[in-house]
A and B are shown apart, each in its own frame.
Chain A
Amino acid sequence: MSYIQQNVGDCLASKYIEWVPLLNRMTTQAGLRASTQPTVKRKLLVRDGVAFVILTLVSLALYGVTLSLFRSFQRHRQGLAEYWSDRGKEEMQHGQSRQGADSLRKALSYAPENRGYELLLAQALSDSGQADQATNYFLNLWESQPGDGFINLELARLARGKKDTQRAVNYYHASIFGDWRGDGPTRRRSIRLELADYLASLHQMAAARAELLIASGNAANNVNINLMLGDKFAAIGDVPDALNSYKKAIVDDPHDQVALEKAGRLSFQVGNFDDAFGYLDNALKEGVGDESTREQLAVMSQQAQQLMKLSLSRELPPRERIEHLLLAKTIAKARLTACLAHSGPAAQQLAVLQNLNERWEVADSDTRSTMEEVPTLQDSLSNLVMDTELLTAKVCGPPTGDDALLMILARSQNASQ
C-alpha cells in the first residue's frame, strides 16, 4: 500500500484507500452475520420502529402547525387582495385607470390565480392606454380561455387600436361565437353591431351589411332594436334594409313616433312619396315634441302630398301619368324659358340650355294622343322634364314652387337609378 501511495497521485490513492476499509468491513460483517443474535435484531427493529413512530408524530404535528399558519396566512393575503382590488375598481370607476392598474397588480400579487382580478387589470391597462401591456395580458388570459367572449372582444378592440384589421375582425368573430355566460344573445348582437360599425369605418360596406343582416335576422321583435338596426343600415347606405327595419319597428308599435318619422324621411328620400306621406302624417298625429322638427315634418308631408300629384312614375295608370307629364311639361318649359331669359349664362352653360331648348322644340309635338299611342314618348318627356329641372338649377340657382318639387322628383329618380 505504501508503494502505491508513493507513486500514485492523491486522487488515485484516495480511491484505493476507500475500498480497503469497505472490504474490511464487509469481511467483518460476513463474519459476524452468523453470530447475529435474534435479540439484537429485535432490539434494532423495536428501536427503528419507535424512531419512525416518533418521526411520524413529529411530521404530523409540524404539518398541523404549518397548516394552521398557512390558513391564517392565506386569509391575510386574501384580505390584502380584496383591499387592493376594491381600491383598483374604485380608481377605475373614477377614470384613474393607471392607478387602478397598479392597485390591481398588487391585488394579483396576493391572489395570483384570481381570474377576475386578471380581467380587471387587463381592462385597466387597456383603459389607461397601455395597449401593449394590455394586449400581452389579454393574450395570456386568452391562452387559458380562448373561447371567452370578453377576452376576445378586448383583444379585438386592442387590435383595432393598433390598426391590425384582420386580427381585429378575427377576434370580433371569436368574441361573437364565444362564451358570454348569461347575456349571450344581447352581447353577441352588440358586438356584431360594433363589428359592422368597424367594417363600415373601413369602407367594407358589403361585409358590414352582412353582419347587420345577421344581426337583424337574429334580433327579437323590439322597436328599439329595429330602430337601431335601421339607423345602422341607413348609415352604410342600405336604404331598403333600413326601411325594412323601420317598418318592423312600426309593426311592433304602430304608434312609435320615432319609427314613423324615420320611415317617413327615408321613404321621402327614396321617392316613395306615397308611403312617406302616410308615415309622416302619422308621425305628426302621434305628436312631435320639438317645434322645428314638427314644422320640418309638416313641410315634408305637404311636399310628399304634392309630389304624389306630380309623380311621373311608370307605376301610375297611363292616363294619370300622361296628365302629370303634361302638367310637368308646362312647369319645366316655363322654368327653362325664364332661365334663358334672365340668367345670362356663360357660353358653355348657354350651350347646355340651347341643347335643352332644342329637345323641348322636339317635345312640343308630344300631345296627349301621341303619348297614348307611343308610350316611349312618356319616358322621353319625363326625362326631359327632369333634365330641365336639374340643369336649370345648376345654371340659374335653386328652384322654387312646383319647380322645386319637380327637382325633388328628379333627384329621387336619380338616386333610385
Chain B
Amino acid sequence: MEYEVEQTVVDPVALAADAAREPGREQRLFLLLSIFIGVLSGLLVVSFRMAIEWLSVLLQGSATEPRQLRLIIAPTVAGLVIAVLTRYVFPNVRGSGVNQTKAALYIHNGYISARTTVGKFLLAALGIGSGHSLGPEDPSLQIGAGVASYVSRRFGLSRERLRLFAPVGAAAGLAAAFNAPVSAILFVIEEVIGQWTAGVLGSVVLAAVSAVVIARQFWGAQPMFRIPSVDLRDPRELLAYAVLGIVGGLASLLFARALGYLRPALRNQPAWFQMLQPALAGMLVGGIGYFGLPQVMGAGYGPIDLAMHGQFAFKMLLLLALFKIIATTLSFSSGTPGGMFAPTLFIGAMLGASVGSAEHFLFPTLSGSIGSYALVGMGVLFAAFLRVPLTSVFMVLEVSGNYSIILPVILANTISYLIARSLQPTPIFELFTQQDGLYLPSMEEQREEIDLRFEDALHPVTVPILQGADTIWNTKKALEQSEAGSAAPAVLIQCSGSTWYAATQSELAQIASEVPGPDAPGANTLLQDRIGTERTPLIFPDQPLSNALPHFRRWPVLPVSNRAMLGALEGVLSLDDVLQRYQRSGKHS
C-alpha cells in the first residue's frame, strides 16, 4: 500500500478552539504560510536534485558508457536497498507521488507524514541516481506536499485548510523541479485539485513562485532544457506535427497499457518476490544500459537535450523511445519510488525528434529544426499519457520560451490527447488508484461532467402571483375568490425593485388572519411592507442547479429571473422539481 494510512494527528483542541475565535486568522496564515512552504519546498527540491546527481556520479560514474558492469550492479543493489527500506522503514513511499498527494487531499485531510516525505526524498534519489528509469518531478511534488502538510499542522489550522495545503505544497515542489511555475500551477489545478477557487489559486501561485525563485537562486533562470531554434517554417509542416500527434497518442497508449498490465501483475506476486522486484527491475534496466542504451537510465535529461539538438539518428531515436517505455514500465511497476514526468518527456522528445528526422529526410525544404519536433513531442506525450492537455501546452511554451511554436503544440497535443482518450478511457493516474483499491476523483471525468442548471429543472409559473403593492385586505379578498390561489402550496409576491417573495399558504393565512375586516388596523398596509425586507434570492436559468438546494430550507419555491429583465420570470423551481431532475439525470447516466 503506497498511500498514507496513518490517522490525522490534528492540532490540540485548545489551539483549534482559540483559532476559531479569530476568523480572519486562517486566511492570513494561509497566504503567508504558502510563501514559506514555497521556500522550504524549493530548498528541499534543490537538495533532492543535487542528491540525485551526486548519487548518479557516485554509482554510475561520471560517464555512462555501455559495457560497464556498474550499470547493472548499481541499480540492482539500489533496488535491494530500496525494497528493504520500503518494507521496514518507509512503507508509503512507493509510486510517483501524484496519487499519494491526491489521496492525502481527498482521504487523509491533507496529511502526509514526515517519515513519508523523508523516505520519498531518500529512496527516490537513490532509485533515480542509481539508474532506474524514473523522474524526479513527481517525487518533488510529493515532497512539496509533505512539507506543506508538516508545516501547516504546526499552526493548528482547520481541517479544510489542512487539506488544501497539500496541493499548495505540491505546486511548489513541482514548480521548483520543473523551473516552470505556470505549468506546475496548471498541473496541480488540472490533475490534483480540479477547481479554480480564488483562495486556493492565490496560495498555489504564491507557493509556486516562491519555490521557483529559490530554485533559480541555485540553478539559474535558464529553462530546464537548452532549447534550440524552434520555428514553423511552412504551414504544410503542420501535417507532420499532426502525424506526431498520432504517433504520440499511440505511444502513450502502449506505455499506459504496459504499465496497466505489469504493475498489478507484479503486485499480485508473493511478498518475497515483491521484495526482489526493484532489484530485478534495476538489473534489467541496467542490462539495457550495459548492452548499448545507457541513455534510458535515470531521468534522461541529457539525452533529451541531445535529441533536441539533433544528435541522434532516426533509428537510435526510435530505439531509445521503445526501450525507455520498457525500462520505465519495469522500474515503476517494481515499486521503486520515482516519477513518470521525465520518462514521459524523454519518450516524447525521442518520438518527436524521429518524426522531425523523417520529415527532414523526406521534405528537407519544408521542415524546421529537429529540436522543434522534439519539443512538441514532449508536450504530445505529456498531454496524451498524463492527460493534462492544458498543462502540456503551457509546459512546452514555458520551457521553450518561444510562442511561435504554439500552433504545432496545440494541434499535436489535441490529436494525441483525443486518441489517448478514445483508446484508453481511464487516465493513468486513475488506473493506478483503482488498482490500489482507491477511488479518488478523476479530474478528467470532472471536466467532462455536465452540470445541471436551473433551466434544466424549472417549469412555467403555475403558482399564483400577488402584487406586493396591494393592500393586505385586497390580497385577502383576491385569494378568497380564487380557488387556485388557495389550493397552491405557495404564492409569489412581486415586490418593488423587481424582487420577489415566495410565501407559503400558512404564511399568507397568518397575515390574512391579522386583518378580519376592511377597517381593521393594518388592512390598508401594503403586502410588501407587511412581509418585511427579506426577499427570495435572485437566481438565473444558467446557474448550477445544485445552488438551489440550500434555499429550499427557507423558501417553498424559487422564482427564476430573466437576466435581461429582472422583473420577468423564466419559471419557478420547487424542491420536487430539482430532485426529480436529478433522478432523471441519474437514470440517463
Can you list 23 residue pairs at the A/B interface with Cβ under 8 Å? A12-B549, A12-B582, A25-B20, A29-B21, A32-B21, A40-B21, A44-B21, A51-B154, A52-B32, A55-B151, A58-B40, A62-B43, A69-B50, A105-B306, A106-B62, A112-B305, A113-B220, A132-B310, A136-B228, A136-B371, A140-B228, A140-B229, A143-B228
Most buried by A among B15, B40, B50: B50
Interface size class of A (residues with CB under 8 A): 35 or more
Contacts of A139 in B (CB 8 A): 228-229, 369
Q: What are the nearest 9 A-B pairs in CB distance?
A: A136-B310, A140-B228, A143-B229, A7-B579, A106-B63, A66-B43, A36-B21, A62-B43, A73-B50
Q: Quick one: closest A residue to B63, CB to CB?
A: A106
Q: Quick one: closest B residue to A139, CB to CB?
A: B229
Q: Which of A60-110 contact B (CB under 8 A)?
A: 62-63, 66-67, 69-70, 73, 76-77, 80, 83-84, 103, 105-106, 109-110
Out of B22, B40, B546, B583, name the residue touching A62 (CB < 8 Å): B40
Contacts of A67 in B (CB 8 A): 218
A299 within 8 A of B: no
The complex places the Cα of A207 from the Cα of B311 at a distance, in Å, of: 36
What is the CB-to-nearest-CB distance from A388 to chain B, in angstroms, rounded to a whole number?
60
The complex places the Cα of A47 from the Cα of B157 at a distance, in Å, of: 13
The answer to whether B18 touches A140, judged by C-beta atoms less than 8 angstroms apart, is no
Q: Quick one: closest A residue to B19, CB to CB?
A: A44
A4 within 8 A of B: yes
The answer to whether A4 touches B549, judged by C-beta atoms less than 8 angstroms apart, is yes
Contacts of A12 in B (CB 8 A): 546, 549, 582
Q: Quick one: closest A residue to B45, CB to CB?
A: A66
The answer to whether A15 touches B546, judged by C-beta atoms less than 8 angstroms apart, is yes
Q: Quick one: closest A residue to B32, CB to CB?
A: A52
B53 within 8 A of A: yes
- Contacts A33-B23, A105-B306; is A55 near B311 (CB within 8 Å)? no
Contacts of B220 in A (CB 8 A): 113
Out of A7, A66, A109, name the residue touching B218 (CB < 8 Å): A66
Contacts of A69 in B (CB 8 A): 47, 50
The complex places the Cα of A383 from the Cα of B176 at a distance, in Å, of: 90
Most buried by B among A63, A106, A113, A137: A63
Out of B20, B46, B57, B155, name the residue touching A32 (CB < 8 Å): B20
Q: Quick one: closest B residue to A37, CB to CB?
A: B21
The complex places the Cα of A140 from the Cα of B372 at a distance, in Å, of: 12
What is the CB-to-nearest-CB distance from A114 to chain B, in angstroms, rounded to a whole number?
11
What per-residue 1/0 map shows which CB atoms of B193-224 lie under 8 Å from chain A?
Answer: 00000000000000000000010001010100
Out of A7, A44, A113, A143, name the residue touching B22 (CB < 8 Å): A44
What per-residue 1/0 map shows which CB atoms of B126-167 lie under 8 Å from chain A?
Answer: 000000000000000000000000010011000000000000
B-to-A contact residues, CB < 8 Å: 15, 18-23, 25, 29, 32, 36, 39-40, 43-44, 46-47, 50, 53-54, 57, 62-63, 151, 154-155, 214, 218, 220, 222, 226, 228-229, 302, 305-306, 309-311, 369-371, 546, 549-550, 579, 582-583, 586
Q: Quick one: closest A residue to B312, CB to CB?
A: A133
The answer to whether B36 touches A48, judged by C-beta atoms less than 8 angstroms apart, is no
- Contacts A41-B22, A66-B218; is A136 near B309 (CB within 8 Å)? yes
The complex places the Cα of A103 from the Cα of B63 at a distance, in Å, of: 9
What per-residue 1/0 map shows which CB atoms of A136-179 lie under 8 Å from chain B?
Answer: 11011001000000000000000000000000000000000000
What per-residue 1/0 map shows which CB atoms of A350-362 lie under 8 Å from chain B?
Answer: 0000000000000
Contacts of B226 in A (CB 8 A): 112, 140
The answer to whether B46 touches A70, judged by C-beta atoms less than 8 angstroms apart, is yes
Q: Is the interface of A mostly helix, strand, loop or mixed?
A: helix
The answer to whether A19 touches B550, judged by C-beta atoms less than 8 angstroms apart, is yes
Out of B20, B306, B369, name the residue touching A29 (CB < 8 Å): B20
The answer to whether A43 touches B228, judged by C-beta atoms less than 8 angstroms apart, is no
Q: Quick one: closest B residue to A64, CB to CB?
A: B43
A8 within 8 A of B: yes
Task: Kindly list 16 other residue pairs between chains A and B, CB separation below 8 angstroms, not including A62-B43, A63-B214.
Answer: A8-B582, A9-B586, A36-B21, A36-B22, A48-B25, A59-B40, A69-B47, A69-B50, A70-B46, A76-B54, A76-B57, A77-B53, A84-B62, A113-B220, A136-B310, A140-B229
Contacts of B25 in A (CB 8 A): 44, 48
Out of A15, A59, A76, A136, name the residue touching B369 (CB < 8 Å): A136
The answer to whether A40 touches B18, judged by C-beta atoms less than 8 angstroms apart, is yes
Most buried by A among B302, B310, B546: B310
What is the CB-to-nearest-CB distance from B211 to chain A, in angstroms, rounded to a whole number?
12
The complex places the Cα of A76 from the Cα of B58 at a distance, in Å, of: 11
Contacts of B155 in A (CB 8 A): 48, 51
Contacts of B46 in A (CB 8 A): 66, 70
Q: Which of A164-220 contact B (CB under 8 A)?
A: none
Q: Quick one: closest A residue to B155, CB to CB?
A: A51
The complex places the Cα of A69 from the Cα of B51 at a distance, in Å, of: 10
The complex places the Cα of A67 from the Cα of B222 at a distance, in Å, of: 19
The complex places the Cα of A52 from the Cα of B39 at a distance, in Å, of: 13
The answer to whether A63 touches B21, judged by C-beta atoms less than 8 angstroms apart, is no
Contacts of A103 in B (CB 8 A): 63
Q: Quick one: closest A residue to B229, CB to CB?
A: A143
Contacts of A105 in B (CB 8 A): 306
- Contacts A8-B579, A44-B18, A44-B25; is A63 near B549 (CB within 8 Å)? no
Q: Quick one: closest B residue to A51, CB to CB?
A: B155
Contacts of B310 in A (CB 8 A): 132-133, 135-137
Contacts of A140 in B (CB 8 A): 226, 228-229, 309, 371
Contacts of A55 in B (CB 8 A): 36, 151
The answer to whether A73 touches B583, judged by C-beta atoms less than 8 angstroms apart, is no
Contacts of A52 in B (CB 8 A): 32, 36
Q: Which of A9-39 contact B (CB under 8 A)?
A: 9, 12, 15-16, 19, 25, 28-29, 32-33, 36
Out of B40, B50, B229, B371, name the residue touching A70 (CB < 8 Å): B50
Contacts of B546 in A (CB 8 A): 12, 15
The answer to whether A9 touches B550, judged by C-beta atoms less than 8 angstroms apart, is no
Q: Quick one: closest B residue to A87, CB to CB?
A: B63
The answer to whether B582 touches A9, judged by C-beta atoms less than 8 angstroms apart, is yes
The answer to whether A137 touches B23, judged by C-beta atoms less than 8 angstroms apart, is no
Contacts of B579 in A (CB 8 A): 4, 7-8
The answer to whether B62 touches A80, judged by C-beta atoms less than 8 angstroms apart, is yes
What is the CB-to-nearest-CB distance from B487 to chain A, in angstroms, rounded to a whole number?
23
Contacts of A16 in B (CB 8 A): 549-550
